[in-house]
């Protein structure tokens, strides 16, 4: 058996063999194995323990009931191989917490994901309820009796109308472009200083315009009533990461991702590619037309060689058309009425035509 202290500072007895995994306890950041805890309590019983103090930056988050939140937890690069965990701190002078989830696992409504390349892990809590209000640890397990776990304390307040929130907890911008974030605050924070802080180096910007060393700029504007906006322009890839909207003692995490932009060089390269394709198509079209013309000329030359008497053209003789009236009755011809006889005045020019009849041969 060993002793722990609850919020009411009363000691209770806990059977180690009855503890469930999700109720694993870490005391003052020390090892969580039963042997280590028993050794610690033996030391506590026989010796007056020296108070161990350390400093940390406590973050206070105001969150909305029913929402989800993702919290970034940074750690030193030397702890890449160490275990990371998210812990609910029951508080009290004895300072212990209940581990909710380890890295790269999901327990109930909590997911912890480690990103070794960025030296950080994130904690996602879903469907937040007022009962989730309390102190938590973002911690890296060090182990042993003499070394404390590396941790950061965060106090979460879950309520229906949070004192600080953001319209979008995850935003995306294009390289070279700009992005805007709007942070909302309650009336009690109208006169508080407003900040926009970068999580990994804790660099903060306040109301006004600030030019950074990376050619990007941060502009913070406060309407003095219920919101302040943050605009980042001239975005660089290095600007990607986690930030905090902050006012007074409250802060809310925001993740910024940067996508590759269309630079002048990339636009020129695209235009040049299109131009080359058009030139190629024009060249192919010209070659096809020339090929067809050459083929036609070769065919005409071949026809002339086969028919030397014909040059491909036929002469057209002038034709004259005459009206011929056939009548086999000579009497009727001689007895034509005067009207018919006068139809053809003698002074008009007369065209004579020779007619020849041909009988169509019957093909056998």
**More reliable by pLDDT, 363 or 118:** 118
Question: Does 119 share its domain with 174?
Answer: no
Is-above-0.75 flag for pTM? no
Q: Compute how many other C-beta atoms are within 10 angstroms of the C-beta atom of residue 69.
A: 18
C-alpha 259/C-alpha 235 separation (Å) is 10
Q: DSSP assignment, residue 52?
A: P
Q: Give the least confident one: 185-189, 283-287, 299-303, 340-344.
A: 340-344
User: 81 pLDDT band (50/70/90 cuts)?
Assistant: very high
Highest mean pLDDT among 28-32, 140-144, 200-204, 263-267: 200-204
Question: Does 10 share its domain with 148?
Answer: yes
* Predicted pLDDT of residue 338: 52
* Predicted pLDDT of residue 35: 47
Note whether residue 218 is domain-resident.
yes
* Predicted pLDDT of residue 186: 96
- Output 313-322 pairs: Cβ under 8 A, ≥24 positions apart: 320/351, 320/353, 322/351, 322/353
For the chain, the domain total comes to 2
Secondary structure class of 43 (helix, strand, coil): helix
Phi, psi (rounded to 5 degrees) for 18 = -95, 0
Domain stop point among 259, 275, 295: 259
C-alpha 66/C-alpha 248 separation (Å) is 24
pLDDT of residue 118 exceeding 90, the answer is yes
Average pLDDT over residues 36-57: 38
Average pLDDT over residues 340-361: 56
Question: Does 140 share its domain with 211?
Answer: no
Question: Does 206 share its domain with 153?
Answer: no
The DSSP result for 258-297, as a single string, is EEPP--HHHHHHHHHHHHHHHHHHHHHHHHHHHHHHHHHH
The DSSP result for 107-163, as a single string, is ETTEEEEEEGGGTEEEEEE-S--GGG-EEEEEEE---SSSSPPEEEEEEEEEESS-S
Domain stop point among 208, 241, 259: 259
Average pLDDT over residues 170-183: 94
pLDDT of residue 9 exceeding 60, the answer is no
Domain stop point among 219, 240, 259: 259
User: 292 pLDDT band (50/70/90 cuts)?
Assistant: confident
Question: Does 173 share its domain with 136?
Answer: no
CATH number at residue 122: 2.60.40.10
Note whether residue 221 is domain-resident.
yes
Question: Does 155 share its domain with 22?
Answer: yes
How far CA 218 is from CA of 157, 168, 169, 211, in Å, comes to 29, 18, 18, 6
Can you give the residue range of the structural domain that contains 182?
165-259
């Amino acid at each position: 058996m060993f002793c722990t202290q609850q919020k009411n500072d009363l000691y209770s007895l806990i059977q180690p063999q009855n503890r469930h995994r999700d109720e694993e306890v870490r005391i003052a950041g020390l090892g969580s194995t039963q042997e280590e805890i028993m050794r610690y309590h033996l030391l506590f019983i026989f010796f007056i323990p020296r108070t161990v103090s350390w400093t940390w930056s406590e973050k206070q988050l105001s969150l909305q009931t029913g929402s989800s939140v993702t919290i970034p937890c940074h750690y030193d690069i030397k702890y890449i191989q160490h275990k990371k965990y998210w812990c609910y701190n029951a508080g009290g002078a004895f300072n212990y917490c209940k581990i909710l989830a380890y890295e790269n696992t999901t327990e109930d409504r909590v997911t912890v994901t480690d990103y070794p390349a960025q030296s950080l892990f994130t904690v996602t809590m879903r469907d937040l309820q007022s009962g989730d209000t309390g102190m938590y640890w973002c911690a890296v397990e060090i182990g042993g009796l003499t070394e404390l776990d590396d941790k950061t304390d965060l106090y979460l307040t879950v309520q229906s109308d949070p004192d600080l929130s953001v319209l979008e907890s995850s935003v995306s911008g294009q390289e070279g472009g700009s992005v805007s974030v709007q942070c909302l605050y309650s009336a009690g924070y109208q006169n508080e200083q407003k900040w926009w802080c970068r999580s990994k180096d804790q660099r903060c910007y306040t109301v006004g315009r600030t030019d950074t060393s990376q050619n990007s700029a941060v502009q913070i504007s406060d309407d003095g009533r219920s919101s302040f906006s943050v605009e980042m322009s001239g975005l660089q890839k290095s600007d990607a990461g986690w930030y905090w909207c902050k006012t007074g003692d409250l802060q809310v995490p925001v993740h910024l991702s940067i996508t590759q932009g269309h630079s002048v060089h990339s636009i020129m390269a695209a235009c040049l590619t299109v131009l080359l394709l058009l030139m190629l198509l024009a060249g192919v079209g010209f070659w096809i037309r020339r090929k067809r013309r050459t083929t036609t000329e070769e065919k005409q030359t071949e026809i002339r060689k086969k028919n030397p008497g014909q040059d491909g053209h036929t002469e057209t003789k002038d034709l004259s058309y005459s009206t011929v009236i056939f009548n086999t009755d000579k009497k009727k011809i001689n007895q034509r009425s005067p009207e018919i006889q006068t139809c053809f005045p003698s002074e008009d020019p007369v065209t004579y035509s020779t007619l020849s009849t041909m009988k169509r041969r019957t093909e056998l």
